[in-house]
Amino acid sequence: MPLAPAEPSPYLYATSTPDTSAFTYDKIMAATIDERARWRCRRKGCRDYEVSVRAGSFFAKSKLPLTKCLQLLLFWCSYLPVGIAQQWLDISAVATIDWYNFCRNICYKEMLTCNMQIGGPGHIVEIDETSLKKKSRYGRGLQHPDNWLFGAETKAQYANSMSTTAKELPRGWKEVQSKSRPGKVYFLHVKSGEKTWKLSHVHAKEREFRHRAVDKKKRRSADGSSGSESVQALHILVKHSGSRRPSSWRQETITRSKAVAEAKAGGIREKLLACVEANPDRSSEALRELFEEIAKEESDCSSAKRGGDLGPFTRGKMTPSFEKAAFALKVGEMSDLVESDSGIHVILRIA
């Protein structure tokens, strides 16, 4: 009766021939990748001694794959948040938090064994001591022990009046001595009044300001009006019941629907276009005269008494849809119907 084939041995030393070494480079690398591989001593009386990839390491009691354990260590050393590590590795929040706590405990124990001196000549050491204690309800029941939190910071003292940090500050920021924390400085943005204790935050905010400026410039270029910083326009406003404020100097309560308002504004625009066609020699003057006349009679805006003249305005002063349409026009050009939360507009740019 033939013997059944033996199952593959989980031990690395079991090789096809007794003379083949189990510790070649290829086999060691294969064993490192294969977490089930183990090494056992061949000597008699020593066969109970086994060594594996995880044995005696940080990963001995972990059930996670070794690759994910190493990635967790990398994420923790890179100061990545728990949520990002959990999402990237597709593991539970409990496992991620346990690993992060484990890494912190290792550092904590290592720090306790270090006999380091902080401070020294020319340095001030600021030590903060805080007692974090869970309070019992009504002062009765289980008494919780104190948990002390210690923090230390060194600050170099410079002989000159301006520190090296102040020289590194971007334009618009200045270094200010703190009155509440003697010996410490904070950083103040002169225009906005924003404050921060960390120089890294200053540079981060400065990068954010630059990105916003670049984005704003790109948006202006996309609108096709980057060369116009100020415009002057006349407009005729027709409000409806859905307007932001459905009332005007002409009518206390406006009840017309949006469709009716669009039809009325469209009729006004057609009348203005007909005026341009009827006066080819002086179309610009005739258009403005008729526009101002209609605005004084029909516009629901308070600018009606000025013939719909809004005066010069820059970006950010009007609603976005109105501003975009006005800046896109050329001088003497009239817009299509423009909708905003105030109502339906017809715009004529005059400067």
101 in the same domain as 188 = no
pLDDT digits (tens, 9 = 90+) for 22-56: 556 566 556 555 666 666 776 766 656 666 777 76
Helix axes 258-278, 283-298, angle to 10 degrees: 150
- 325 found inside a domain: yes
Same domain, 95 and 198: no
Dist. CA 232–CA 303, nearest whole Å: 13
Position 239, amino acid: K
Residues 188 and 273 both lie in one domain: no
How far CA 214 is from CA of 209, 223, 228, in Å, comes to 9, 14, 17
Count of domains observed in the chain: 3
In this structure, are 318 and 336 located in the same domain?
Answer: yes
Q: Tell me the residue type at 212.
A: R
Judgement on whether residues 186 and 262 belong to the same structural domain of the protein: no
- What is the pLDDT confidence band of residue 343, given thresholds at 50, 70 and 90? very high
Could you read off the pLDDT of 92-107 as tens digits, one per residue?
888 888 888 888 888 8
Cβ neighbours, 10 Å, residue 171: 6
Report if residue 339 sits inside a domain. Answer: yes
CA distance 266 to 345: 10
Q: Are residues 211 and 287 in the same domain?
A: no
Contacts of 312 (CB under 8 A, 6+ apart): 230, 231, 232, 351
Domain boundary among 188, 222, 256: 222
Q: What is the pLDDT of residue 347?
A: 92
On whether residue 40 sits in a domain, the answer given is no
User: In this structure, is residue 115 part of a structural domain?
Assistant: no
User: Is residue 209 domain-resident?
Assistant: yes
Q: Residues near 30 by Cβ (< 8 Å), separated by ≥ 6?
A: 37
Domain annotation covers residue 82? yes
Q: Which two tokens stand for residue 230?
A: 């100020």
Looking at the DSSP bridge assignments, the partners of residue 50 are 40
3-state secondary structure the chain: CCCCCCCCCCECCCCCCCCCCCCCHHHHHHHHHCCCCEEECCCCCCCCCEEECCCCCCCCCCCCCHHHHHHHHHHHHCCCCHHHHHHHHCCCHHHHHHHHHHHHHHHHHHHHHCCCCCCCCCEEEEEEEEEECCCCHHHCCCCCCCEEEEEEEEEECCCCCCCHHHHCCCCCEEEEECCCCCCCEEEEECCCCCEECCHHHHHHHHHHHHHHHHHHHHHHHHCCCCCCCEEEEEEEEECCCCCCCCCCCCCCCCCCCHHHHHHHHHHHHHHHHHHHHHCCCCHHHHHHHHHHHHHHHHCCCHHHHHCCEEEEEECCCCCHHHHHHHHHCCCCCECCCEEECCEEEEEEECC
Between 65 and 116, whose confidence is greater?
65
Per-residue pLDDT band at 9 (split at 50, 70, 90) = very low
Q: At which of 110, 125, 144 does a domain end?
A: 110
Which range marks the domain in which residue 87 is found? 66-110
pLDDT band at 142 (very low <50, low <70, confident <90, very high): low
What pLDDT digit, counting tens, does each position of 197-248 carry? 877 777 777 777 777 777 777 766 665 544 457 888 999 999 998 888 888 8
Same structural domain for residues 193 and 251? no
Domain boundary among 159, 191, 222: 222
What's the mean pLDDT in 329-336?
89
* Residue 158 included in any domain: no
